[in-house]
Amino acid sequence: MTTSELLRDLELERAGTGVLRRYQRFVDAKDLDALADLVTDDVQLRRRDEEWTGREAFLALYRRFAGSDVTVAQHMATNVEVTALPAGADESRLRVDSCFLAITLHDSGEARLMWGRYSDDAVLREGRWLLAAKRIALARTAVVDESALVSPDLDSFGPRASLG
């Protein structure tokens, strides 16, 4: 691999992971304007065997999330793989595959842990990397009752008996 090929691979990996990180940050912040700016006009969204096309259809899912009883959300991605796809009219196109874990706290006091896989497409348009497809394969959701949660004020180190 030449130095220029290596630099191009690193540039594309950074672009793909950057789109993924921004997506997660904007969802966690319930920032609908930033999410709208991150996606193409014809973005495709697939979740739970349902598919939607277009920015407004994409945002409808996140409007429901923003209006929910979630008080804190934190998405994390790992095992991120970025692959260059055949170039099209967008000049550059990437597939960004990853595993995710999302933790949400709710007004009810419970917490939810959701995990699964993302398979996203990012495109370069007018010098900006945008999300063109978001595929969410949710594996499971675990609900944690409020009584099992520990206050963030307590020291989380030491034996479990010391947490109560």
Q: Which pLDDT score is estimated for 16?
A: 96
Burial class (CB in 10 A: 0-12, 13-18, 19+), 36: middle
pLDDT at 164 over 80: no
Mean pLDDT score, 108-136 = 96
CA torsion, ordered 17, 23, 26, 27, to nearest 10 deg = -130
Q: Say which residue the tokens 């394969």 belong to.
A: 137
| Percent share of the chain, pLDDT over 90 | 74
Q: Say which residue the tokens 């691999």 belong to.
A: 1
Taking all residues of the chain, what is their mean pLDDT, rounded to a whole number?
Answer: 91
**What pTM value is reported for the model?**
0.89
Return the amino acid letter for 45. Answer: L
Q: Give phi and psi for 65, each to the nearest 5.
A: -65, -45
Which of the residue ranges 10-14, 137-141, 157-161 would you say has the lowest mean pLDDT?
157-161
Sign of CA dihedral 44, 122, 102, 135: positive
Band of pLDDT at residue 54, cut at 50, 70 and 90: very high
Band of pLDDT at residue 92, cut at 50, 70 and 90: confident
In the sheet that 93-106 helps form, which strands lie side by side, from edge to edge? 50-53, 39-47, 128-144, 111-125, 93-106, 70-85
Mean pLDDT score, 126-134 = 95
Mean pLDDT score, 29-48 = 97
Band of pLDDT at residue 38, cut at 50, 70 and 90: very high
* Those residues with Cβ within 8 angstroms of residue 34's Cβ, 6 or more apart along the chain or in another chain: 22, 26
